[in-house]
Structure 1
Amino acid sequence: MAANIFHIGGELTVGRLGFGAMHLPTEPAAERRTGLAVARRAVELGITLIDTAHLYGGGANEELLAEALHPYPHDLLVTTKVGVARTGPGGEWRLDGRPAVLRDQVDQALRRLRVERLELLQLHRVDPDTPLAEQLGTLRELQTEGKVGRIGLSEVTVDHLDQARAVVDVVSVQNRYSLLDREHEPVLRACEAAGIAFLPWRPVAHGTSGAHAEIAAVADDLGATPTQVALAWLLAHSRVICPIPGTARVDHLEENVAAAELDLSPAQLARLDGMSAPGSVA
């Protein structure tokens, strides 16, 4: 079984299997109660890393987590993301890393999450219309001001990562990655070399993992579900991987959390490794 903790930035100790809050419903009232219950159950099960973003409901997801979990347990890290805003011509969402937008979203996150500092803040996407150094420079200023503790990136290339590390200390990268989708293997390896936490979003191909014979066979051998096998593979694949599977159901949450206890044998790992060549999309 892979080591089950990671020190983000060498300082923030988290369990390597986290929770992505994106799918938690914030309305209507009955569904919101379900969202609150799932968030609380995640912490009861020992989750210490929860991911949210301004994009998720324009901050409504952040507010839900605060309602569910504040005052936060001392070992809980709630990380959020900024850089996507409703600033398109028709008020639609678009990538927007302008300094004023980033600053405003950080201030909103502090208020909604009811904290004085965001211990880990990630740039949700690189805005191609704003110089990357300007976007990161703004986050660095917010860090100096004490509003941000540590800085991460999301959905970036190796080149983006190299450019960013010349401006700030990058402690996390959140890219799409799973057993069936390894397009960002080069980014993962760059993170591994630098000791940077790699937080895969969409870490499980929902509804399709069980359709793959190799995954189904390993799951059958272990008496586990295909989803659990996919998550266990991520934890075993690299020491810097901290998956953040999301769900709006308690039973799925409990299934995901149990994957951290799954022990894949060398033969099973080799079988799963061989499903897709690194750098490809299965």
Structure 2
Amino acid sequence: MANDGGTPPAKASGTYRIGGDLQVDRLGYGAMQITGPGVWGDPKDPAEAVRVLRRAIDLGVTFIDTADSYGPFVSEMLIRQALHPYADDLVIATKAGLTRPGPSDWRPVGRPEYLRQQCELSLRHLGLDCIPLYQLHRVDPTVPLADQLGELALLRQEGKVRHIGLSEVTVEQIEAARAITPIVSVQNLYNLTDRGAEDVLDHCERNDLAFIPWFPIATGDLARPGGPLDAVSTEHGATPAQLAVAWLLRRSPVMLPIPGTSSVAHLEENVAAALVRLTDDEFATLAKATLAKAT
């Protein structure tokens, strides 16, 4: 793992154009953890949260993912406090469709009037005239999909949203959504040890849709002493978490990992994963180890 000392490390992750026009460096930052415990309320150290966001930009991050439900709204308002006015190359993605009755409590609501209300609030809290990427946080099974995405399409037509994305969906739901309005991204649970969304990732790659894996840093038993991650860690002088992110970046050109943290030190470690270059054999070994564990 090496850096030339001048180029921000996130730049080593390569680039991707979301929707064909929003170019970002592929290793981004997920802003869920800068809130309080249970993703509820203010963080214990708001000043550190601001430092984390500003340091992410220093490290070359150009893609930040958040949601109205993180706090709620705490994450979005911290982003504005730390980074507004935004750099021209910074893409901020947010989401709506999950309500928060309390800490660690998440409930889908996809009523059109609710989604519109949340979009207006996110615009205000983030200090934006148009949200670059607006994602349906969850599909509400009690509301027709056409009503949920139809409202997001209206917001797009009105210039309040530039692109529309989905979260936690199946291939069938992606195609149903694309029949209603253009979709540019999918955010599903996916990491080295949990690859249940493999079919969704493959579908995104075939259709040039950004795939944003949430909970990207997971190593589990693979990092045990003598395990496959442990051996590769020694070879690269990298942590197992860095290898997990490096594996994701290698897995697909449409992959946009967004590891999140509330500390500057951890952020710097995460972003340094962009400097790790796995060999073909190392990539295959880690992939096979995961499949063997799953079976």
Shorter-chain TM-score range: over 0.9
State the Cα distance separating 1:211 from its structure 2 match: 2.5
Counterpart in 1 of 2:15? Answer: 5
Letter in 1 for 2:25: G
Which SS does the other structure have where 2:93 is aligned?
strand
CA distance in 2, matches of 1:275, 1:133: 41
Which SS does the other structure have where 2:189 is aligned?
coil
Which SS does the other structure have where 2:184 is aligned?
strand
TM-score where L is the length of structure 2 = 0.89
State the Cα distance separating 1:261 from its structure 2 match: 1.1
Residue 72 (1) aligns with residue 86 (2): yes
Letter in 2 for 1:68: A
- 1:210 aligned to 201, 220, 223, which one? 223
- 2:59 aligned to 36, 45, 51, which one? 45
**Aligned alpha-carbon RMSD (Å):** 2.1
Counterpart in 1 of 2:265? Answer: 251
- 1:101 aligned to 102, 107, 114, which one? 114
CA deviations 1:210-238 (Å, max 9, x no partner) are: 32711111111111110111000000011
State the Cα distance separating 1:104 from its structure 2 match: 0.4
State the Cα distance separating 1:277 from its structure 2 match: 3.0
CA deviations 1:151-177 (Å, max 9, x no partner) are: 000010111101011111110100000
Counterpart in 1 of 2:140? Answer: 127
Does the CA-based 8 Å contact 1:209-1:230 persist in structure 2? Answer: no
- Unpaired segments ≥5 residues, structure 1: none
The alignment of Structure 1 onto Structure 2 pairs a total of residues equal to 278
CA deviations 1:108-148 (Å, max 9, x no partner) are: 00000001000110000000000111100000000001100
- 1:262 aligned to 247, 271, 276, which one? 276
Counterpart in 1 of 2:25? Answer: 15
State the Cα distance separating 1:78 from its structure 2 match: 0.9
- 2:179 aligned to 166, 183, 186, which one? 166
Does the CA-based 8 Å contact 1:182-1:281 persist in structure 2? Answer: no
CA distance in 2, matches of 1:67, 1:119: 18
Which SS does the other structure have where 1:274 is aligned?
helix
CA distance in 1, matches of 2:50, 2:247: 29
Does the CA-based 8 Å contact 2:222-2:229 persist in structure 1? Answer: yes
State the Cα distance separating 1:276 from its structure 2 match: 2.5
Which SS does the other structure have where 1:170 is aligned?
coil
Which SS does the other structure have where 1:167 is aligned?
coil
Residue 240 (1) aligns with residue 250 (2): no
Q: Percent identity?
A: 49
Does the CA-based 8 Å contact 2:13-2:274 persist in structure 1? Answer: no
Letter in 2 for 1:23: Q
Which SS does the other structure have where 1:6 is aligned?
strand
- 2:214 aligned to 194, 201, 205, which one? 201
Counterpart in 1 of 2:189? Answer: 176
State the Cα distance separating 1:248 from its structure 2 match: 0.6
Does the CA-based 8 Å contact 1:19-1:49 persist in structure 2? Answer: yes
Residue 116 (1) aligns with residue 129 (2): yes
- 2:45 aligned to 10, 31, 45, which one? 31
1:182-197 equivalent positions in 2, closer than 5 A: 182-197=195-210
TM-score where L is the length of structure 1 = 0.93
CA distance in 2, matches of 1:281, 1:250: 34
- 1:62 aligned to 76, 97, 100, which one? 76
CA distance in 1, matches of 2:88, 2:50: 19
CA distance in 1, matches of 2:13, 2:69: 32
Which SS does the other structure have where 2:290 is aligned?
coil
Letter in 1 for 2:141: P
CA distance in 2, matches of 1:201, 1:29: 21
CA distance in 2, matches of 1:224, 1:35: 25
Letter in 2 for 1:105: Q
CA distance in 2, matches of 1:33, 1:208: 35
